[in-house]
Amino acid sequence: MASSTEPMDGAPNERTGLLVDWGGVLTTNLFVSFHAYCLREQIDFEALGNRFRADGEFRDLLVALETGEISEVEFEPALAALLSVAPDGLIDGLMAGVEPETAMIEAVRLAHAAGIRTGLISNSWGVHRYPHELFGEIFDGVVVSAEEGMRKPAPAMYELGAQRAGVAPEHCVYVDDLPHNLPPAKALGMATVHHTDPASTIGALEGILGVALSGGPAHIEA
């Protein structure tokens, strides 16, 4: 069901749902951590990125992990063989530099406390690295790809996210750090925000949702 939240100027607010990605939005930049791993292991980071985009074997392996077709235990040796590195702790190594993005987590917490319906829509690299204890505090609904057997940018991921948050898609705003994950949300009627840094995203969300998300006055759009 939709929230009764109103923006701070008292006008009706049509955006009453906030749906967010996890890695790279509520955490620090994943690719910075991946790059650091590649430097340590003497892997060409640009070449690796190109292989994930263009090499079917790399791509199929990633899709299988994110949709839960294979486990992390199966994924690590398969990826390690493609990278010519040791498999033990491979995912942990890639994720070693990833930290919680505290300003964004607090923004979601403040939105939730203000009556905005909140939801997570995440493509997962396994499921045990998520802080599940946090989910009940800040989210009304959670969609994790490996648990659903599908991944973004499948439109059904966004539809399910809105459904579990309890708000119609056209009343949601969706935030992701990867631009190609935004068009399906927009096609469902969601407002979209491409996350590049917390300050810009929080300012944009304050304008869209009409609530303060950083402890100060909201940036209300005219």
Interval 39-89: pLDDT, tens: 998 988 888 888 888 888 989 999 999 999 999 999 999 999 988 888 888
Interval 103-113: pLDDT, tens: 999 999 999 99
Residue 215, pLDDT score? 64
Residue 13, pLDDT score? 57
Residue 12, pLDDT score? 45
* Distance from chain centroid for Cα 79: 23
Q: Which two tokens stand for residue 102?
A: 């505290």
Q: Domains of the chain (ranges plus CATH)?
A: 17-28+100-209 (3.40.50.1000), 30-94 (no CATH)
**Within the chain, what is the greatest distance between any pair of CA atoms?**
59
Residue 128, pLDDT score? 85
Q: Rounded to an integer, what distance in angstroms lies between the CA atom of residue 58 and that of residue 42?
A: 19
Q: How far apart, in Å, do the first and last CA atoms of the chain sit?
A: 27
Question: In 37-94, at which residue ranges do the beta strands (DSSP E only) sit?
Answer: none
Residues 157, 154, 97, CA angle at the centre, nearest 5°? 75
3-state secondary structure of 85: coil
Residue 10, pLDDT score? 38
Q: Averaged over 195-202, what is the pLDDT? A: 97
Contacts of 121 (CB under 8 A, 6+ apart): 19, 20, 21, 143, 152, 157, 158, 160, 161, 174
Contacts of 173 (CB under 8 A, 6+ apart): 15, 17, 18, 19, 190, 191, 192, 193, 205, 208, 209
Q: What is the reported pTM?
A: 0.88
3-state secondary structure of 157: helix
- What is the overall mean pLDDT for the chain? 89
Looking at the predicted structure, is the pLDDT value of residue 222 above 60? no
